[in-house]
């Protein structure tokens, strides 16, 4: 075994029933506190061990949070009860540099999680991480480049995270795209683009994060982890002139249910949150590629002459009278993590626009 294989197992060995340590791989340590084989680790590792040399594998630093592990300086606040739902857990948010993803990242950091911002827009992820770390006065966010449609890129993302912190507690598959248009005219390239990001991307991320979560659980058999897909209300009912998007989101629910049945044996829950329309985010409001522009140009809203006409049309369809916010989605995520007796479920967050039956 190598350091990538061992780090999640080592993190699992630090699990105390409620939380685990950050495990940071380094090339060398002059005087590690503990030197042992992996087979000896369980009997020799103690809650106060700060550094380990596992023979024929590598060297690891252990800390209460990222700064504690890497620099020996911990400024992490303490939390208990419901406030500790994601406290000091390692979270990953794909598509985390903007839109719903950015709001989710900000909310998780506020809740005390260490969040990896994974995005094609690396510059945006770096800017957001810097802002959040400055605000917190400690390392609470780390940026990563990732293309969720490229398996090698997904593998590289997971490997980088494991080497830095030892594992992943909460994976949020949020990266998504949309191309609106009639089934009579939508191009094959646009259909495949939407399907690759929204459907294939979720599969690839789950494929590579699930083994990490399984290894974290192996030492205790009681280490709960979560995979949450951010889909859409369009995952619950069809969407006129939006078949590629709705189809990819419907398909994601099939993946969620199937993954949930398989991964429950590893104490990994798999669920999805189905938000309503986030009108103020770039998906809707971008002046060039946003949905308001796309729907106006495609004629999806009969009689609409302006972007404001399109917006008013969609606001009028929501019983609660407003679009969905990032905070609405964050609350749903926290519920999914805290609730240990639900997996394979789709949770609408739509202001009453879509109701399950």
Roughly what angle, to the nearest 10 degrees, separates helices 122-136 and 99-110? 20
- Give CB contacts under 8 A, 24+ apart, made by 250-256: 251/195, 251/199, 252/198, 252/199, 252/202, 253/346, 255/199, 255/202, 255/203, 255/206, 255/229, 256/229, 256/344, 256/346
| Whole-number Å distance between alpha carbons of 206 and 200 | 10
| Whole-number Å distance between alpha carbons of 284 and 138 | 33
| Whole-number Å distance between alpha carbons of 50 and 41 | 13
Q: Is 245 a catalytic residue?
A: yes
Give the closest residue to 25 by CA, choosing from 11, 38, 35, 40. Answer: 11
**Which tokens belong to 208?**
């590579």
| Whole-number Å distance between alpha carbons of 220 and 216 | 8
Catalytic residue selected from 66, 199, 223, 245: 245
The catalytic residue positions are 245
């Amino acid at each position: 075994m190598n350091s990538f294989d061992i780090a999640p197992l080592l993190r699992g060995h630090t699990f105390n029933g409620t939380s685990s340590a950050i495990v940071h791989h380094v090339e060398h340590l002059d005087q590690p506190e503990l030197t042992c084989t992996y087979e000896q680790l369980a009997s020799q590792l103690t809650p106060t061990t700060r550094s380990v040399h596992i023979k024929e594998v590598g060297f690891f630093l252990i800390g209460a949070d990222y700064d504690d592990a890497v620099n020996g300086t911990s400024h992490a606040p303490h939390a208990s009860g419901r406030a500790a739902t994601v406290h000091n857990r390692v979270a990953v948010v794909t598509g985390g540099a903007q839109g719903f993803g950015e709001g989710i990242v900000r909310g998780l950091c506020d809740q005390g999680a260490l969040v990896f911002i994974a995005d094609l827009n690396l510059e945006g992820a770096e800017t957001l991480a810097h802002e959040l770390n400055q605000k917190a006065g400690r390392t609470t966010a780390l940026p990563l480049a990732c293309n969720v449609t490229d398996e090698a890129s997904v593998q590289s993302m997971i490997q980088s995270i494991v080497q830095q912190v030892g594992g992943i507690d909460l994976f949020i598959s949020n990266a998504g795209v949309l191309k609106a248009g009639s089934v009579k005219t939508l191009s094959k390239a646009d259909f495949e683009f939407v399907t690759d990001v929204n459907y294939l991307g979720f599969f690839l991320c789950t494929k590579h994060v699930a083994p990490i979560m399984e290894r974290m659980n192996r030492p205790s058999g009681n280490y709960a982890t979560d995979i949450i897909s951010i889909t859409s209300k369009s995952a619950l009912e069809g969407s006129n002139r939006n078949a590629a998007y709705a189809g990819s989101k419907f398909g994601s629910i099939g993946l969620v249910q199937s993954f949930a049945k398989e991964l429950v044996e590893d104490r990994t829950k798999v669920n999805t949150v189905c938000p309503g329309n986030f009108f103020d985010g770039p998906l809707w409001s971008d002046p060039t590629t946003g949905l308001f522009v796309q729907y106006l140009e495609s004629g999806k809203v009969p009689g609409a002459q302006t972007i404001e006409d399109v917006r008013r049309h969609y606001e009028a369809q929501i019983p609660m009278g407003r679009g969905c916010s990032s905070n609405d989605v964050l609350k749903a995520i926290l519920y999914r993590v805290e609730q240990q007796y639900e997996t394979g479920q789709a949770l609408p967050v739509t202001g009453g626009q879509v109701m399950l039956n």
